[in-house]
Amino acid sequence: MDRQRSAAVWAAINDHARAGGAPVSIEAVCLICARTLRAQGVSVALSDRLMGYEPVCASGGAYRLMDLQVTLGEGPGRDALTGDRPVLVGDLAEDGTRRRWPMFAPAAVQAGVRAIFAFPLLLGAISVGVLEISRTEEGWLTPQQAADALVFADAALLVQVRQLASPDAAAGEPKELRWGTAERWAQVHQATGMVAIQSGTDLSAAFVRLRAHAFADERSLLEVARDVVARRLRFGPDRDEAD
């Protein structure tokens, strides 16, 4: 990898953080990545025992794509995370792409996205997260852009490791819980626990049921989770009931 280019990427991230008077964050990595690669949006998700893929930060229009992947259970980010390798999609409307992700691909195109590039955050040989870059026009990253994307993925991993080792994290208050995206998705965990109690199931079964309800109602998983947390919707042993 070009050390000079890598240094330039890090300088842009650090300059953005200094301008805002804050430490380097995943949010800064996403924003500068989107600006550098002329992306519609950039997001970071981490590996999660319950959901498998947990949104942490999103810039631009990337939030909708993360929501789709969690709700539908498929997509490039999830595959990059579980496969420990990049998943690059130059055209989501292609027949092969639609066969690979029959629910996600058409939904993403309908949301205005045509290309997605997912890079795993590798800790050794294991993926602990994924950086996703989305564009509104079909086409591939150039070799230089792909090299820059790998630098941004490394930056996202390093920032996350540093934050987990921070005093706040040691005190049980990790900084990412105060970010907008992660805070919203904490509601999904809360709703899953509530559904497990209401329906008398374990957390895995409760999450599947929550996701199935969202899919059947053609709503996002987060919207359904909000209704559960607000007690507008509860899950009994046999059926779901809206108040």
Identical topology for domains 3-173 and 179-242:
no
Least confident of 93-97, 104-108, 147-151, 226-230: 226-230
182 CB contacts (<8 Å, ≥6 apart)? 54, 55, 56, 57, 176
DSSP 242: E
Cα 71 from chain centroid (whole Å): 12
- Do residues 57 and 45 touch, judged by C-beta distance below 8 A? no
User: Reduced to 3 DSSP states, what percent helix, strand and coil does the chain have, rounded to the nearest 5?
Assistant: 55, 15, 30
At 185, the pLDDT band (50, 70, 90 cuts) reads: low
Torsion sign, CA atoms 127, 74, 207, 186: positive
Give pLDDT tens digits for 21-62. Answer: 888 888 889 999 999 999 999 999 988 766 678 888 888 878
Cα 105 from chain centroid (whole Å): 16
* For the chain, domain boundaries: 3-173, 179-242
Least confident of 77-86, 98-107, 139-148, 180-189: 180-189
Give pLDDT tens digits for 156-181. Answer: 988 877 765 555 544 443 333 333 45
> How far apart, in whole angstroms, are the C-alpha atoms of residue 50 and residue 205?
10
DSSP 175: G
Cα 227 from chain centroid (whole Å): 22
Per DSSP bridges, beta strands 54-60 and 87-89 are unpaired
State the average pLDDT over residues 115-138.
Answer: 91
> How far apart, in whole angstroms, are the C-alpha atoms of residue 88 and residue 3?
24
Return the percentage of the chain with pLDDT > 70, whole number: 86
> How far apart, in whole angstroms, are the C-alpha atoms of residue 211 and residue 216?
9
The terminus-to-terminus CA distance of the chain in angstroms comes to 57
**The pLDDT of residue 49:** 67
For 232, other C-beta atoms within 10 Å of its C-beta total 12
Fold (CATH) for 3-173: Beta-Lactamase (3.30.450)
Q: Tell me the two tokens of residue 63.
A: 């939030």
**The pLDDT of residue 183:** 55
> How far apart, in whole angstroms, are the C-alpha atoms of residue 129 and residue 67?
16
Q: At what angle do helices 76-83 and 62-72 cross, to 10 degrees?
A: 70
Class of domain 179-242: mainly alpha
Supply the pTM of this predicted model: 0.76
> How far, CA to CA in Å, does 220 sit from each of 23, 124, 207?
32, 34, 13
Give pLDDT tens digits for 123-134. Answer: 877 788 999 999
3-state secondary structure of 52: coil
